[in-house]
Structure 1
């Protein structure tokens, strides 16, 4: 197969595009901030005892996916910006290497796929925790590892559709920007379709999460559960309250990503290719999302911990007879 003659003028358009360089620069800055935040949060989740071990495994996998995505973006954007600002007279000299695009965009897409499956596995884990609240505290890591494997299977299905028609060796095309769809011979719906599948799964998971919150709070006021079950239920409710922000943001981000990506694609003809890619990169806000959820969940955990300390302090100051009367009432 003959190698196509590269369009140096088009490569020059990419290299001189102010919107594209601005989009890449902003995303690069956010990614640099996100990387240490994600690493710290992964270590925090590994050590914290606030969440059940199986919940921690699902969150850790989510953060790992975001970390992979950020590593891919850090390298992609750094190399592209370096090439754009240091190019010589012949713009064709900075045409991206195919294998560099394949590997680094692979990090980008694998991280995107893994991080998009978090809500599904988290809600499944909390669903089982609710129905086994009387003994879930003693549940080992095996179930959490199975759910992590399930996350990876879902991500693999997503990636299979995305890469089904993509090239894995150089072909009769020229990549002026590292983009998966640029080497694909199939319909764009092989890329967009999985995004909508993820969006639907996220929405269903969010509805299930709402139901779990409602059922857990109703069960809390029931007199039919023993003290051990009540303790596990309180732990579960605290976990749900802390995870609410994560599930909400996960659903909103991937819904926006699906809708805006589709809109951009079907209006691509009215945009220059560099401007189109600038908007595509701007829409993929996963590094910013990673910073937001790490900060948000940390803040929520801090509030929950302070409230817990306040309740304990009030309990210690309470009249002893009243305390034991309440305790006897709980264990009836």
Structure 2
């Protein structure tokens, strides 16, 4: 991002933004949804950290996912609340422009949250692939792979932000917080993100079949390997559900971008700003995904508990039948 440039005030552009009911309605809606999402994300993040059921590496990746969305929502709250204040405050027209510092902070959190959360499925698929192929000794490695994967996820997201913002140019008092990056780079990033998530979904499905095959064969040689296979049988169906939801939201996002391009709206127009805020529907994603995934996890755990109880009961019955046979033979 280049150094902020001082520029004259174009009252026509300022009034176009300040008088746009559609833009303010979009910002107000996203502000409300972000405020709803924050406590939900905080509670979910605490549950993820305290939950001892899952492997520590999965917990780390999930925690980073929740935290990145939380940062996105905080960035939205900062920007939308300041925008709405400038809209409602009795200030001169040119004083209703946004501040450079607020734009940098809010949009950095906003963009980091979008991209970091978008790569969660990819790094979860990589983690489960490593867990499957190194199942005999993976449990002993503990958090080493998780730290490496989480660090890579954060680094990739920060690099994307750097390259997106490095070519941007913003005055010290912009009419609206919008960074215009090089179009080719942002398009490439979006295509790579979308494609990598499709491959991750396919890989999760493949891993599930591999673990089911391993479970039914005699390939399991130690307790650590058996534990990893059983954990994968629980985690991968959850991951497949999560990836499916992720995919649906990505399709909606890309279709929205396509419609915006077809409408050929000027990127300095207030209608474009309003549509941009609506297409980046991460707060909606947070609420829907947390609600749906909590139900999916409860269902899978319930099915596993019922199946385990049935297996224990069958084994008990078989044991007593065998014991009776032994008693009858001994007489």
- Structure-2 residue corresponding to 1:200: 195
* Matched ranges for 1:217-228 at <5 A: 217-226=212-221, 228=223
Aligned residues: 318
Q: Distance in 2 between matches of 1:258 and 1:164?
A: 24
- Structure-1 residue corresponding to 2:278: 282
Other structure's SS at 1:318 match: helix
TM-score (normalizing by structure 2): 0.87
- Structure-1 residue corresponding to 2:47: 44
Displacement, 1:139?
A: 2.7
Q: Distance in 2 between matches of 1:199 and 1:136?
A: 29
TM-score (normalizing by structure 1): 0.87
The question of 1:242 aligning with 2:234 is answered no
Contact 1:109 1:159 (C-alpha < 8 Å) held by counterparts: yes
Deviation track 1:231-280 (CA, whole Å, cap 9, x = no partner) reads: 32111110111222222222332344345335524644468711111111
* Matched ranges for 1:1-332 at <5 A: 3-88=6-91, 90-167=92-169, 170=171, 175-181=174-180, 184=181, 187-226=182-221, 228=223, 229-261=225-257, 263-265=259-261, 267-269=263-265, 273-318=269-314, 320=316, 322=318
Contact 2:242 2:289 (C-alpha < 8 Å) held by counterparts: yes
Deviation track 1:151-179 (CA, whole Å, cap 9, x = no partner) reads: 02221232233113014x747xx621111
Q: Distance in 1 between matches of 2:13 and 2:320?
A: 78
RMSD: 2.6
Displacement, 1:217?
A: 2.3
- Judge which range, 247-256 or 291-300, deviates more: 247-256
Q: Distance in 1 between matches of 2:18 and 2:253?
A: 26
Deviation track 1:276-328 (CA, whole Å, cap 9, x = no partner) reads: 111110000111111222222221221222223323433443352526999xx
Structure 2 gap ranges (5+): 323-331
Q: Distance in 2 between matches of 1:213 and 1:319?
A: 26
